[in-house]
Structure 1
């Protein structure tokens, strides 16, 4: 993009999901319902886990952290989108845009790392059951989550600070419904070579390494399960334990790769749809995927809703 109209901008214009005014109220109602379901589902999962002693295990500790990350990811994107849909003013301030970019990377990366940590937990439980209790200690669980949190925040801060050093063209329209890195780089009037290199050499490994670790973990897990005797229900129980996590992994990475591994020269409609799934649909589905087939979670949620947990 040319350098002719380059200055400090106070706000950006977001293209949004649709240019047709009659679609705005429909989208507002749809995403409001999705956000409320997301909040209710993840808050209930979190409260059920911290309130029920039987769920004080590594698997559910990581799931509680995932619920917090999903709440943060959905809130950082969907709340601003709901405001824009309601007011039909598709704008976001410069500071708000950078903040949204930071939280997008922070909570999105946290989801990515937590899914990898949960895969490690399932690997230890199924492939190394005799060492599970000693290895997956509370101290290690807290350490793993803390390390993930530090890495994700440093990664988010790196991209945000590099983006803040760029100049942007006045009147530039971001071809998206939120501030993501690729659409933002397209409206920059400054050279973006450094940002693109950081995306490739830092962002690539941050996305790929947890995914590859999750993939390898499940190769070992499936191999171990298939060697189990079919009698006694051990194989079925093991598959049931991993099924919910594997479903979340498939949905999360399929949409994430569709967005961030697309050609840098284009940002098509299919990527916007994938972004909706990644930022709004997946955080909404996670509580259902983890609770529908989990008897312990069902019982904890039932007790929570009946008020038995907090009864004195």
Structure 2
């Protein structure tokens, strides 16, 4: 009988050692692939009865959770995600489904975790985190809980949009392709404000990230490009800036005259403007004036239509934002 109780006691002690208590760990759990390298999955930070999932560009998804004997459940917005779960105290390794997570002490500890919801637009096909990682950098535009417009530049949160140009030259190199994470209730006008500042440091293409599917670890968004006339830069800049492009293509009056431009005004991308765009053919030169007051969703649909026409007809269509 004594032998039985000894075995039972050892079993209880061993079970206690293997039980995962997230409050014992101040830091973040980093995903690993089968070779022990970083896996392109969100890392996890536990905070009391909640957790945060951090992606490669520091977008944070919030969830509550419940750990059972061999599973863990994430209660995210409008969904419950259930995974197999195991903890090895000896190696400080969490296993969630087939993925190992290594503990990194102090990582994210003491740093304010900025949490907001994306704009939730799923217009195009999803892309993988591996595809997203091909971009050099990313920043976030969102509204905080008080409704104040904010930017998140790496770990810095600010309302100063004038920091964007210097952000594009971080680590003494210019970023050529960039991702913008877009929070809910962000307007096209606010995106255009970012475009204008990025254009002044020769960035004219971005990936607008509009949603993240936690369950499938995929993203939704739209690869956009944009242009501004030199006179717009002169009028809207808060400081004197040398012309970025001195050739005729950025001088509006000369450009319109040289190419005999046909102008199409799009205030809202509706059936009428869609039919009008269908009249474009490769024999003409076109300027499409885009009202910056239209919804972001309509804007993306409009630009997709323009790109489709350019590819089909083999022509370059100039676009212009109005009502800046």
TM-score after normalising by structure 2 = 0.23
Structure with the largest fraction of helix: 1
Greater Rg, structure 1 or structure 2? 2
Higher relative contact order (CA 8 A, sep 6+): 1
More strand by percentage: 2
